[in-house]
Amino acid sequence: MNQTLLVELLTEELPPKALAKLGDAFAAGIFNGLKARDFVEPDSTFTAFATPRRLAVSVTRVRPNSPDKSIREKVLPVAVALDKEGNPAPPLAKKLAALGFPDLKLSDLERAQDGKAESFFYTYTAPGSTLHSGLEAVLEDIIGKLPIPKVMSYQRPDGSTVQFVRPAHKLIALHGSEVVPVAILGLSAGRSTLGHRFLSQGELAIPNAETYETTLEVQGKVIPSVNARKEKIRAALLEKAGHDKVLMPEALLDEVTALVEWPVVYPCQFEENFLAVPQECLILTMQTNQKYFALTDANGRLRSRFLIVSNLETADPQHIIGGNERVVRPRLSDAKFFFEQDKKKKLADRLPGLANVVYHNKLGTQAQRTERVKTLAGKIAQELHADVALAERGALLAKTDLLTDMVGEFPELQGIMGTYYARHDGEHDEVALAASEHYQPRFAGDALPSTQTGTVVALADKLETLVGIWGIGLQPTGDKDPFALRRHALGVLRMLVEKRLPLSLNGMLRDAAQLFAGNANFKDTTAEVFIFMLDRLRGLLRERGYAPNEIEAVVAQNPDRLDNIVERLDAVHAFAALPEAESLAAANKRITNILKKTEAAAGAVQKDLLKEAAEAGLHAAMTELKPRVDAAFANGDYTGTLKALAHLRNDVDAFFNDVMVMAEDEQLRNNRLALLSGLHGMMNRVADISKLAA
């Protein structure tokens, strides 16, 4: 009968950060292995289980035996199998013996076309295999393929050496209620497992595969499902938080889920005086070192109480609560000590120390990099008519918190601590904020810097990284981007686009490249970086819902300023909806191709050479329309600029129907090319509308 199959491997404590992947890989590997060997039905499903001490899977509708299969085996080409007289040749007998059919006769074989030649085939029925042999083969196959972070070698009681992620102690393999007698890692399958280390006693016998989860939960005080445990923890945290907000990043929730089998949440407290320390420090030390969940009030201010997830349910949890409160106190004291010590030395006094920190062996120290960023920030601030002194000061101090004890202990706090310390030092608030804001945006969707100084320093920092790292030959390749240049490029683009900054992208890249003058390791590759950034811009605009051909119409012109790119895209989108758009886009594409093929210099159109009515009509229409187009473009009305072109449709169509551009008369030809060149310029001021042509 088709029944549910259960496989469980009981181990010592598994690495928590790898548990979910191990559990999924173990379950999927067994299911896919059985499926490949034809032991499961088309509607069979599997459920993965993983706890700190076990990996398991339950598979529905598993066959006790795989079905017999009809196999058509190619034996040999006829030319090889037969001799010149048509009799069986020695290679045929050798091949049949190798296939396990030494007694077959020539008449038992099928002779059929095989491509351009003929071959002999033999069709036979291969008997199915037992679940015992199939499952054992599957286990042997997947055990070595699990995503194990680090393999352990250990000895079994019989002295044999076994390799696995952690020592394994028990194996369950049940098909329905029957034990499947497989063996792996020196273990023979049975039906017993162990429950919770403290809340369950002795071995647990699993009656049948379908009662596994219930038996473990009721008798063993173990929730075997990762998702069920995680959601129980989430619900308990929210309940215990009450009116407060619980900070529960998914990564922390996942890790804690992998540490417990029977989660229970308890509230704890620490002394109020620790709240004088920046709350980011306290939150990070609780999350990173202790796996605790911090609480904030409705306004985001840290509370002096926190939540822990214990693996032990007890009527009197005071000893658990007290123990965790004692453990967290030294951690918070360390954070307080680091903060107080760091404040004794101003950030500005730490500047000489940056000379001892290597940024990159080909680009020098952090001190040298700081000077480069400061110079570039000053230039950008000048372009924006921002406060140059604030920008240079912000850039100068931005990296000094790397030398503080707090950031040394918690690198994740770089920038955040710089802002706290700069404010303590009495620096201008924009300078202080630049210490943290110059890292923004840190990831997709992250906030942009809120201040002008922060924006300027962020641009300078990212552009210096992009140009410098690219210039020493470490540009991204494939999916490898160790210096996060794609993220830096997107950060620059987002600031230019979303803040509508009237800055020259090429100009900033050239200014950044000049910072490395005299560095023998550096090669100026600003042209490559510019192309790279335009490719990132295409992706950014696609994410915002613009059509690919509309994006290309704007980006193909290699825009140097991006402050008006949204208006240009909106204009292209509006133009594309006009009934005249398709015809004008096709004409523009034709004009582009014509102008590419000629070397004639574009000059002024001579009216006396406009011989055909169609070319004279087009010239008159362009002359009449030009002031309107120029005014709209000058006022930034890009939609109006493009929509005005719709009035030229009939004249453009008539020109191409009635006028031979490449006339034999050189004067006529050049005059018509000049007319088309003028039209091309008028049509492509906002975007290359030829990209809209099908």
Q: Which of 545, 577, 612 lies at the terminal end of a domain, its last residue?
A: 545
Q: Which of 1-10, 40-49, 549-558, 665-674 has the lowest mean pLDDT?
A: 665-674
d(CA 483, CA 129): 53
Residue 602 has pLDDT above 70, yes or no: no
Please, which residues have CB within 8 angstroms of residue 361's CB and are 6 or more apart in sequence?
A: none
Integer CA distances (angstroms), 559 to 287, 514, 564, 680, in order: 45, 22, 10, 17
522 shares its domain with 573? no
Strands, sheet with 110-114, edge to edge from the N-terminal-most edge strand: 69-77, 117-126, 110-114
pLDDT at 601: 59
Return the SS3 of 609. Answer: helix
Residue 665 has pLDDT above 70, yes or no: yes
Q: Is 559 left (phi over 0), alpha (psi -120 to 50) or beta?
A: beta
Residue 650 has pLDDT above 70, yes or no: yes
62 shares its domain with 183? yes
Q: What average pLDDT score do residues 430-439 get?
A: 97
CB-based contact 530:549 (threshold 8 Å):
no
CB-based contact 29:146 (threshold 8 Å):
yes
pLDDT at 216: 97
Q: How many domains does the chain have?
A: 5
Residue 268 in any domain: the answer is: yes
Q: Which helix (H) or strand (E) holds 123?
A: strand 117-126
Residue the block writes with tokens 């020493």:
472
112 shares its domain with 136? no
Q: Which of 157-161, 536-540, 565-569 has the lowest mean pLDDT?
A: 157-161
Cis ω on the peptide bond leading into residue 548 (within 30° of 0)?
A: no
Q: What is the pLDDT of residues 178-237, one digit of tens each?
A: 999 999 999 999 999 999 999 998 999 999 999 999 999 999 999 999 999 999 999 999
CA 164 from centroid of its chain's CA atoms: 30
Taking alpha carbons only, the member of 261, 262, 249, 335 closest to residue 292 is 249
d(CA 550, CA 307): 52
Taking alpha carbons only, the member of 271, 277, 370, 383 closest to residue 328 is 271
> Bridge partners of 305?
269
449 shares its domain with 358? yes
Taking alpha carbons only, the member of 549, 515, 565 closest to residue 690 is 549
Residue 555 in any domain: the answer is: no
Percent of the chain with pLDDT over 90: 83
Q: Which of 180, 202, 218 lies at the terminal end of a domain, its last residue?
A: 218
473 shares its domain with 496? yes
Residue 613 has pLDDT above 80, yes or no: yes
What domain range includes position 257?
Answer: 226-342
CB-based contact 194:170 (threshold 8 Å):
yes
Percent of the chain with pLDDT over 70: 99
Q: Which of 126, 141, 164 lies at the terminal end of a domain, its last residue?
A: 126
Taking alpha carbons only, the member of 691, 693, 659, 692 closest to residue 673 is 659
Taking alpha carbons only, the member of 642, 556, 622 closest to residue 592 is 556
Q: Which helix (H) or strand (E) holds 7?
A: strand 3-11
3-state DSSP of 161-215: EEEECCCEEEEEEEECCEECCCEECCEECECEEECCCCCCCCEEECCCHHHHHHH
Q: Which helix (H) or strand (E) holds 561?
A: none
247 shares its domain with 395? no
Integer CA distances (angstroms), 431 to 345, 425, 446, 471, in order: 17, 11, 21, 29
Residue 557 in any domain: the answer is: no
d(CA 371, CA 122): 79
Residue 407 in any domain: the answer is: yes
Q: Based on the number of CB atoms within 10 Å of its own CB, is 610 exposed (0-12), middle (13-18) or buried (19 or more)?
A: buried
Q: How many C-beta atoms surround the C-beta of residue 218 within 10 A?
A: 12
Q: Is 609 left (phi over 0), alpha (psi -120 to 50) or beta?
A: alpha
Question: What does the angle CA 623 – CA 628 – CA 634 come to, to the nearest 5 degrees?
Answer: 120
Q: What average pLDDT score do residues 289-296 get?
A: 96
Residue 554 in any domain: the answer is: no
Q: What average pLDDT score do residues 672-679 get?
A: 90
pLDDT at 600: 59
278 shares its domain with 406? no
Integer CA distances (angstroms), 240 to 143, 197, 637, 692, in order: 40, 25, 57, 58
Average per-residue pLDDT in the chain? 94
Eight-class DSSP state of 152 = E
31 shares its domain with 176? yes
Q: What average pLDDT score do residues 522-544 get?
A: 96
355 shares its domain with 408? yes
CB-based contact 488:466 (threshold 8 Å):
yes
- CATH number for the domain spanning 435: value is 1.10.3210
pLDDT at 69: 86
Residue 558 has pLDDT above 70, yes or no: yes
Residue 552 in any domain: the answer is: no
* Local confidence band at 611 (pLDDT 50, 70, 90 cut-offs): confident
d(CA 97, CA 103): 8
pLDDT at 479: 84
pLDDT at 594: 86
> Bridge partners of 245?
296
Strands, sheet with 54-62, edge to edge from the N-terminal-most edge strand: 46-51, 54-62, 3-11, 168-175, 178-179
Query: Would you state the structure tokens that stand for residue 527, as one six-digit string?
Result: 């042209």
Eight-class DSSP state of 48 = E
Residue 562 in any domain: the answer is: no
Please, which residues have CB within 8 angstroms of residue 168's CB and are 6 or more apart in sequence?
A: 9, 10, 11, 162, 185, 186, 187
Q: What average pLDDT score do residues 444-452 get?
A: 94
CB-based contact 412:289 (threshold 8 Å):
no
Q: What average pLDDT score do residues 466-479 get?
A: 94
Taking alpha carbons only, the member of 254, 287, 299 closest to residue 412 is 287
479 shares its domain with 379? yes
pLDDT at 71: 86
50 shares its domain with 177? yes
482 shares its domain with 357? yes
Integer CA distances (angstroms), 422 to 43, 418, 426, 450, 507, in order: 63, 6, 6, 17, 31
pLDDT at 116: 87
Q: What average pLDDT score do residues 498-525 get?
A: 96
Q: What is the pLDDT of residues 165-192, one digit of tens each?
A: 999 999 999 999 999 999 999 999 999 9
Eight-class DSSP state of 130 = B
Q: What average pLDDT score do residues 580-607 get?
A: 83
- CATH number for the domain spanning 620: value is 1.10.730.10
Residue 107 in any domain: the answer is: yes
